Amino acid sequence: MENVKENKKHKNLFYFLIIFLLLGTVGYLAIEINSLNEKNKSLSQESKYEKAKLEDERDKVMFDLEKMSFSYDTLMVANDSMNLEFIEQKKQIETLLQKVKSKDYSLYKIKEEANTLRRIMKDYIHTIDSLNTLNINLQNSLTEKNNELSKVQNENQNIKTENLELLETVAKGSILQASNIIAQGIRIKNSGKQVETTKASRVNMLKGCFTLVENKIAASGNLFIYMRIISPEGKVLTSSIPESILTGNNTSIDISVKRQINYQNTNTDVCVYYEVDETLNSGTYLVEIYSGKYKIGNTSFALK
């Protein structure tokens, strides 16, 4: 009986040990499973972090490439050869951008190629800056030369203007002047004697006398003096062969009579005669005296 009890006791102890071992094993497995879950969770978080970091790197590389592409747009210059090189560099940038977007290319290699393109662009910028500096210096030099040329041209123009003004002054000063102008109607008697008359019906000649004033800068020698007689009706009295002259403003005017004289830069008395071949009307007649194309004096007289 005691043996049976002893055996039963030993069996219970065995079962207890078995249960204890099973519980220990289950506990150990639970701890290992929990540990593996924690490791998996940590690895998952690290994987997400690495992916996010990789995406940030890709975004940064894309931004740098896009910025370089825009920079090449601003580098266009008036040099066709350099512009072709810029276009080629832009094509390479676009190729790298497509590789970044497709995610089927080593980001490390793309970054290396991007750095190479950036160094090339910096060389271009340095070259352009040097050219711009040279152009600015040349432009400043050209502007300075243009200013000097403009200054010389202005000085020459001023000299020309002064010379023209001087020539104009001399020309004006060389114009003769008529003074003491007297005009009157004349009747020629059968004896040939001239008699002044104010009766229009008796006039068969008109006479204008004056003094050419001394002028030392005027041209000396033979010259023509023109007399222009205007009737009360405003009609110019002309000879059988009408003649005209050009005035200072290039206007053509009819004259009544002309006379050639010899002028030697001293006071010279001159008389000019106009033969009347028709009966004159009564009224006031205007008389103008011209030397060359300039009017040098005028007067009037009346017939009744």
Looking at the chain, the whole-number percentage of residues with pLDDT higher than 70 is 68
3-state secondary structure 135-172: HHHHHHHHHHHHHHHHHHHHHHHHHHHHHHHHHHHHHH
User: Residue ranges per domain, the chain?
Assistant: 1-173, 178-303
Residue pair 237/274 in contact by the 8 Å Cβ criterion = yes
Q: 178-303 has which CATH code?
A: 2.60.40.10
| Whole-number average pLDDT of the chain | 78
DSSP character at residue 236? B
- Pairwise CA distance, residues 44 & 50, whole Å: 10
- Give tens-digit pLDDT for 204-221: 899 999 999 998 888 889
- Pairwise CA distance, residues 203 & 276, whole Å: 7
So what's the pLDDT on residue 77?
Answer: 59
- Pairwise CA distance, residues 234 & 252, whole Å: 16
What's the whole-number mean pLDDT along residues 40-63?
A: 64
pTM attached to this predicted model: 0.48
